[in-house]
Structure 1
Amino acid sequence: MIGHELGGRYEIIERIGGGGMALVYKAHDILLGRNVAIKVLRQQFVDDEEFIRRFRREAQSAASLSHPNVVSIYDVGQEGEIHYIVMEYIEGFNLNEIIKDRAPLQVEESVRIAAQICDALDHAHQNQIIHRDIKPHNILIGRNGRVKVTDFGIARAVTSTTITQTGSVLGSVHYFSPEHAKGVITGEKSDLYSLGIVLYQMLTATLPFLGESPISVALKHLQEEFDDPRGVNPLIPQSVENIILKSMRKNPSERYHSAKEMLKDLDTCLLPERRNEPKIQFAEADADQTRAMPAIKSMKREASYSRAKKLFDEDDDDDNKIEDKRNKKWVRPTLWITLTLVILISMAGVIWYVNNKLVVPEVTIPNVINLQEDIAVAELTELGIVIEDPIIRTYKEDFEEGVVYDQSKKEGTVVKAGSVIRLFVGTAKPLAVMPEVKGKTFAEASEKLIALKVKKDNISENPAYSDEPPGTVIGQEPEADAKFNAETVEVILTVSKGKETFDMPDLVSMTRSKAESEIKKVGLKLLGVEEESSFKYEKGLVTRQWPYDAKSTVSIGEEVKIFVSTGYPPEALNYTFNLPVAPVEEGKNSKIRIEYSDARNDDGEKKEWGTKTVKSTQVFSVDLVLAPNKDAVVILYRDGVFFDTYTISYVDAKNGSVPDVFVPQEDPVPPTSEEDLEIIPDPGDVNPEDTTTMLQSSSKDKAPKDKPDKSKKGNKGIVKTSKKP
């Protein structure tokens, strides 16, 4: 097994223990990345249905418990002929190893360990589970001191009526309770008796009952008293000895009534006021006196002899009288002899009749368990055994329908022909009804299904979008009221993820028809369409969307409203700005780039008009849209260098008073005196009613005296801009 990967996820590392029924390995859970302990049924038992049932029962018993002092069960599986249980791995030792290594243990440590075992038993008993095999070998002590109870291999429900399996008593004989040894009903108090022995062994390093054979030890549990713990170890406080004495009483009614009661005693026994309490006393039962009773047969024989003697004495007296009177001695003896012979012959005849007519032959009861009902009935009828009517028919786990799972008289019992036997026949497993779990949370639905014995691993979640709150069950398979087998059913619960969400698409600048199509495509609803004028967007284009902006989170089915442009507002003014440009040097190429912004750029972003290469002076037309509160700006670059900025106001354009623009010079010369330029006010400061003045060079302008004449290399002057009303 070492190195084997069990179940596709458990890599066996090493063997760490084992018992009569199973071997225990340390393994690594590849899926969850943790170490686990795996108990594997021994190979010699893989074909034994009884051992397999016990093995499965261990997992079922322990898995139903959830307590810090009980080893947790993680998984149960079968791979081929390998039956295994995956459980919590405890780093540490079992109590038996600790006792062998350093017993007797300190009183405080022993009481602490016993209290944790008792706490685990209290939890198990509350869940109707009796362990039935409490012993140091089944108590694990972690490195942190935590006590863990394990090995529920022979645990049974409280309603069990026997502790025997296939003719043998289960459990460990040194830790048996008296009722356990007798094979009668065992309950919670049997576990407490075994715990008392464990506490006794921890404190004294010995067992209370020892013998040469298991039978002799079992008889001592039934008949003999054990040595007081303090007689073996005087360091044991009287309060602790009292707990051992009470838990190990042969009469269950004199023991603790529950594990909780014993736990309370363990929690307080080391308090200063209790350590030296008086020794516990128990009422002694009156011994039955043995009386010599005369044997019934002997009494009857003596009475018959007396009556016969008296009768014959009386007859002799009569014969003597007759003999005296008639002198016929031979008559009466002859009569009695004849009568005796007749009686003897009659008795012989009766004996012969009884032997031949009334004596019923004896038969041995066969084992008909696991046989089909009709075969079992035929076999018993052939032997002359009468089948009690009606046959008991109930569901029995591990038995198929129509198969005998029990019989009132056990195999090997000798009975008279004609005796009655009761048969118990299995039926099909009753199917449960699937409850309605829609509207519940997944956790609530799972809890309800697990209560109906549905395996947790067989309940799966299928997330789906819906209008229901997230986490709500909106569908189930099988449907409510359907019949199902709890052991095999696969339940699929459809759980709401809430409404489906996605990023809102950007509808702005789309045409109306395209925007409506996009809204429908993503599963939204069109709340309405509203028209509005816009400088930025041409007629027919979407100007904005409400209430969800682009890239905001939106759910399917939500409503969206769009606004569509009707074109520029009435006050908008279309204006063509004629911009003269010239190369740096006439006849040589210069690259001219123009940017602009107008009422259509409400965010101040500049638009690219274009780039041109010129060799001579030219005029480029820039089409602008002006608004009362938004001036247009044209920016000129020459050979990649910023050249100038031109502002066109709405008022100037409307009044036809936009200033004329100079033709760019090759190398503009800054003015040398105020006489060279006529300074005019900024157009923004001019009253619209006034005549707009222009910044222009003087008609008498000449090149400065200290500068060479550059008239041959470039042009200068005024270019009047065209105006549109």
Structure 2
Amino acid sequence: MIGHDLGGRYEILTRIGGGGMALVYKAHDVLLNRNVAVKVLRQQFVHDEEFIRRFRREAQSAAALSHPNVVSIYDVGQEDDTHYIVMEYVEGHNLNEIIQERAPLQADEAVRIAVQIADALDHAHQNHIIHRDIKPHNILIGKNGRVKVTDFGIARAVTSSTITQTGSVIGSVHYFSPEHAKGVNTGEKSDLYSLGIVLYQMLTAKLPFLGESPISVALKHLQEDFEEPRIVNPHIPQSVENVILKAMRKNMHERYASAHEMQLDLDSCLRPDRLNEPKITFTAVNDMEETRVMPAIRGEVRPEAASERAEPVATTHAAAERDDLGAKPEPKGWKKPLTVVGVTLVVLALIIWGFLWLIDKLDVPEVEVPFVVEKPLDEARRMIEDAGLKVEDPVIREHSKEIPLDHVISQTKANLRVKQGSLIELTVSDGPELEVLKDYVGKPLQTAIDELGALGITEQNKQIIIERVFSEETPDTILQQTPNEGEEFNPESVEISFMVSKGRETVEMPNLIGNSLSEARDLVKAFELVLEDADILYEPSYLHQKDYVISQDPFEPKDKVTKGSKISVRVSSGPPEDAKEHHFNIVISPAEAGKTSEIRIVYSDARGEDVEWGKRQITSTQTFPVTVVLAPDTEASVTVYRDKQFIDRKSITYEELAQGTNTSTLTFPGDDVQPTGEPVQGEVDESDEQTGEEEQQQQ
């Protein structure tokens, strides 16, 4: 069924459950673009016309229910031999799973669930629909906490022939009401009895009646008392126990009059004034009939009876012989009748003997059919043959999530007495329905997640394991998968591993600005990036020396960059053509002759304001060359400090530089000689000027 478009509208995604009569699938309604649940009738019932007719009628009746605590029925249909019901899909868990996981539940949670179930039953009963199979498996709890009751009306569709074929009563025997177990018509109060058992199980984590077979459990519903809830779980308030005791009375007249009455009692049972109310009591009345064993009636003839019926004939014949001893000889005509009588008696005796022999052969003894559900097939076959019965071959095989591989799912004539040598039909599990894994290598990870999610396989339940690695492939592309393509897997237990690309490895972008072009090339190569000659652009710059990097693109320093990425840089070609340079030769002496002074020089020009040229320690008069760069219509200046004291500042404009020399000398004697403040024009030794420029470059 997986992948089938049922009715041309419902795309079957995955199997989510099943019972004795139907299988339930999650499907997508392509017309309304929503998920739905589709219940499909099992194949063994598709040829029972009465069952199908009632199935449809009851499903349509349930579809008339509109209540927030009832699973809505959207559609009923047939495709060839497939009969199905489309229902609301509830995202969550059924109550049985919650009980198995964390029962006993807190009283307030159990009561809250029971109130919603009672509300749903009240709505159904008002619409003359009786559920007849209230159990935790049929109660769904959505992710928002909303309780939804499902499977309304389906149990009513069972015919007498179905019961005979399956050898069981439809419904769950652990939740039967006594009248249900007796086989009489069940009414609204049977649902309340079942709800009482569900509440009992939520609060105690156990069922009130257990047995080795369904019949033994049904008899306990009829004849035995259950262990009271507060004995099992003392934390249950008395008021809540009273609700359970009243709902589970064997005499239906002592139960709640309606689901609404039970709902009102549940609504108020946790009020502080009711928690410790007196225990409820009932008048002891046994309304259940005694269990009687009726003797079997058989039409067999006993040999003693036959001999008694033959005795008068034999006695008469003997008397006649005695009379003949003393009587006169009769004529010879009497011998022939006596011969006829004798032969007749012999024939009658043979007929009676043959009849008794035939009855003995036809009277096959009856034996008890062993219950072999959930047992391994070999063990089940041995048990059936040891009982004098036969397994009908071949056995029926079906997929099952609940029953392990090669274990019996169901049997015919369970818990009955049948003639020795009778055939027993077994339905055996093929294990969960297996899926075939597709090839996801080279596909986006999200594609695999979406398709596997439709089968119930998700990262949340740790069935999908993802390992991300660097690669040349696009990020989120699947590189490897385990299991491999074409392997079969069980969606319930499989673990699928994907190795996924996270793209090429990244590095932190280095800062190239301010480095020489050769240094920048070395950094780019070390970080496995690419800088081609075509991506090196030259432009004039006042701020950067020739062949030094001005800017980088498209990545800023410290950006995460994929290895192998191409970058471009802008490199200084030196000052613009209209720029002019001026060289200040600063001649300065220590403040006091023979002592050390600290000299600090700062300049401002087209490259920036208050640029530090550097500091020097001097003990004698020294000359320091300082080169400034001027743009048109600007000025440059140098400022000199000695021992942190301002000495002097000298400026020169672009126009002055154009009219005069490109070199000037500033002289600063010691404190005993006052500076004139006027520049001293003169030539500077070429080696001194070169030394000053090198020092300036180092700064």
What TM-score does the superposition give when structure 2 sets the normalisation length?
0.51
- Equivalent-residue separation in structure 1 for 2:459 and 2:124 (angstroms): 26
**1:453-494 deviation per Cα after TM superposition (whole angstroms, max 9, x unaligned):** 998332345456799999898875445654212232113456
Tell me the CA shift for residue 586 of structure 1: 3.8
- Equivalent-residue separation in structure 1 for 2:448 and 2:343 (angstroms): 95
Secondary structure of the 2:350 match is helix
Tell me the C-alpha RMSD between the 2 structures.
Answer: 6.4
- Contact preservation (8 Å) 1:407, 1:423: yes
CA separation of 1:190 and 1:446: change in aligned 2, threshold 3 A: farther
- Contact preservation (8 Å) 1:442, 1:493: no
Instruction: Name 2:551's counterpart in structure 1.
Output: 544
- Equivalent-residue separation in structure 1 for 2:132 and 2:464 (angstroms): 26
Gaps of at least 5 residues in structure 2 are 1-88, 200-218, 226-246, 268-296, 300-329, 690-699
Tell me the CA shift for residue 540 of structure 1: 3.1
User: Is 1:483 aligned with 2:483?
Assistant: no
User: Is 1:619 aligned with 2:634?
Assistant: no
- Equivalent-residue separation in structure 2 for 1:381 and 1:490 (angstroms): 41
- Contact preservation (8 Å) 1:454, 1:489: no
2:649 counterpart letter in structure 1: T
Tell me the CA shift for residue 327 of structure 1: 11
Instruction: Name 2:108's counterpart in structure 1.
Output: 92
User: Is 1:391 aligned with 2:395?
Assistant: yes
Tell me the CA shift for residue 552 of structure 1: 5.2
Secondary structure of the 1:85 match is helix
**More off after superposition, 351-360 vs 602-611:** 351-360
- Equivalent-residue separation in structure 2 for 1:400 and 1:630 (angstroms): 93
Instruction: Name 2:637's counterpart in structure 1.
Output: 633
Secondary structure of the 1:92 match is helix
Instruction: Name 1:459's counterpart in structure 2.
Output: 464
**Which of the pair has more CA radius of gyration?**
1
Instruction: Name 1:646's counterpart in structure 2.
Output: 650
Query: After the TM superposition, which residues 123-162 of structure 1 pair with which residues of structure 2 at under 5 Å, given as runs?
Result: 131-132=134-135
User: Is 1:512 aligned with 2:528?
Assistant: no
User: Is 1:590 aligned with 2:597?
Assistant: yes
Secondary structure of the 1:457 match is coil
1:529 counterpart letter in structure 2: I
- Equivalent-residue separation in structure 2 for 1:172 and 1:382 (angstroms): 32
- Contact preservation (8 Å) 2:587, 2:665: no
- Count of equivalent residues: 480
1:620 counterpart letter in structure 2: F
Of 408, 420, 424, which aligns to 1:421?
Answer: 424
- Equivalent-residue separation in structure 1 for 2:140 and 2:407 (angstroms): 39
- Equivalent-residue separation in structure 2 for 1:377 and 1:166 (angstroms): 23
**More off after superposition, 469-478 vs 502-511:** 469-478
**1:490-548 deviation per Cα after TM superposition (whole angstroms, max 9, x unaligned):** 13456787898765431113343443454455465547122234344334332222233
Instruction: Name 1:448's counterpart in structure 2.
Output: 453
Secondary structure of the 2:608 match is coil
Query: After the TM superposition, which residues 3-14 of structure 1 pair with which residues of structure 2 at under 5 Å, given as runs?
Result: none
Secondary structure of the 2:550 match is strand
**1:617-640 deviation per Cα after TM superposition (whole angstroms, max 9, x unaligned):** 443333444554554322211111
User: Is 1:346 aligned with 2:350?
Assistant: yes
Instruction: Name 1:531's counterpart in structure 2.
Output: 538
**1:627-680 deviation per Cα after TM superposition (whole angstroms, max 9, x unaligned):** 54554322211111111112244444454446654544526779xxxxxx9xxx
Instruction: Name 1:431's counterpart in structure 2.
Output: 434
Of 604, 608, 612, which aligns to 2:609?
Answer: 604
2:253 counterpart letter in structure 1: F
Tell me the CA shift for residue 432 of structure 1: 0.8
Secondary structure of the 2:348 match is helix
Secondary structure of the 1:344 match is helix
What TM-score does the superposition give when structure 1 sets the normalisation length?
0.49
CA separation of 1:459 and 1:400: change in aligned 2, threshold 3 A: same
- Contact preservation (8 Å) 1:508, 1:545: yes
Gaps of at least 5 residues in structure 1 are 1-63, 77-83, 99-109, 141-145, 200-211, 231-240, 248-261, 267-294, 298-325, 671-676, 678-693, 697-717
- Equivalent-residue separation in structure 1 for 2:132 and 2:648 (angstroms): 96
1:612 counterpart letter in structure 2: Q
Q: Identity of counterpart residues, as a percentage? A: 28
- Equivalent-residue separation in structure 1 for 2:390 and 2:259 (angstroms): 55
Secondary structure of the 2:491 match is coil
Tell me the CA shift for residue 587 of structure 1: 4.3
- Contact preservation (8 Å) 1:592, 1:612: yes
Instruction: Name 2:585's counterpart in structure 1.
Output: 578
CA separation of 1:116 and 1:526: change in aligned 2, threshold 3 A: farther
2:626 counterpart letter in structure 1: V
Query: After the TM superposition, which residues 55-454 of structure 1 pair with which residues of structure 2 at under 5 Å, given as runs?
Result: 66=91, 85-86=101-102, 90=106, 92=108, 95=111, 114-115=118-119, 131-132=134-135, 170-171=173-174, 176=177, 178-179=179-180, 182=183, 191=191, 194=194, 214-215=221-222, 226=253, 334=338, 337-338=341-342, 340-351=344-355, 353-354=357-358, 365=369, 373=377, 377=381, 385-397=389-401, 400-404=404-408, 406-410=410-414, 413-417=417-421, 419-427=422-430, 429-434=432-437, 438-439=443-444, 441=446, 445=450, 448-451=453-456
- Equivalent-residue separation in structure 2 for 1:470 and 1:187 (angstroms): 63
- Equivalent-residue separation in structure 1 for 2:633 and 2:538 (angstroms): 22
Q: Which has the higher contact order (CA 8 A, sep 6+)?
A: 2
**1:285-310 deviation per Cα after TM superposition (whole angstroms, max 9, x unaligned):** xxxxxxxxxx999xxxxxxxxxxxxx
Secondary structure of the 2:354 match is helix
